[in-house]
Amino acid sequence: MEDVLDLYEEPHDEKNPVVCLDEKPYQLLEQTHEPIPVEEGKPEREDYTYKRNGTCNLFITLCPQAGWRHVKVTEQRTANDYAECVKELVDVHFPEAEKIRIVQDNLNTHKGASLYKRFSAEEARRIYKKLEFHYTPKHASWLNMSEIELFVLGKQCIDRRIGDTDTLQREIAFWEEERNRHKVTINWQFTTNKARIKFMKHYDNLKI
């Protein structure tokens, strides 16, 4: 726990950025009838019926100190999808970084081994050498700031019926661009010192 909290207290380092990574499934729901538009004194109204179009997966990467985030929409949440997401971090989003310090949970695909499943050994090793993994303790995924950003994404952008991945990607891209343009950060206040006070009784048993 302290490993992650100490990272959050550091100032932003462009050469060694802290990036929080998380993912969640998203249900694609298509309208079966056109919603009734907003009228004076009345919100938009939609029929209770809808068509299920399957699910997709949302990978979110967040650099909290820089006020930057990116959401990648994938059809699945396999080790290959995770590997592609991490490669994108290294080659597209932080190409000048010496080491990207990734905060993530203990999902079985969130490992360096996923890179070797997707890429050649040489390519996997190249990517892996640019990464430093920091895991949240079991039952403490709330320590990952990406969970907060996913909650905001849900409330501000995708808490409605979206029936296909193309529309979903466009809507998320607009939301992402606006938040990145304003460099919206998270007001994280839970520090290592506060953790030691809050969990004082149980601290000897905590995995830190």
- Over residues 3-33, the pLDDT tens digits come to 999 999 999 999 999 999 999 999 998 877 6
User: Looking at residue 98, which CATH number applies to its domain?
Assistant: 3.30.420.10
Q: What band does 49 get if pLDDT is binned at 50, 70 and 90?
A: confident
Structure tokens at 123: 């390519």
Q: Which domain holds residue 74?
A: 2-205
- Over residues 149-204, the pLDDT tens digits come to 999 999 999 998 899 999 999 999 999 999 999 999 999 999 888 888 887 776 66
pLDDT for 204: 63
Structural domains counted in the chain: 1
Residue 184: helix, strand or coil by DSSP? coil
The whole-number average pLDDT for the span 125-148 is: 95
pTM to 2 decimals? 0.88
Edge to edge, what strands does the sheet with 68-74 contain? 68-74, 50-63, 18-31, 100-104, 131-135
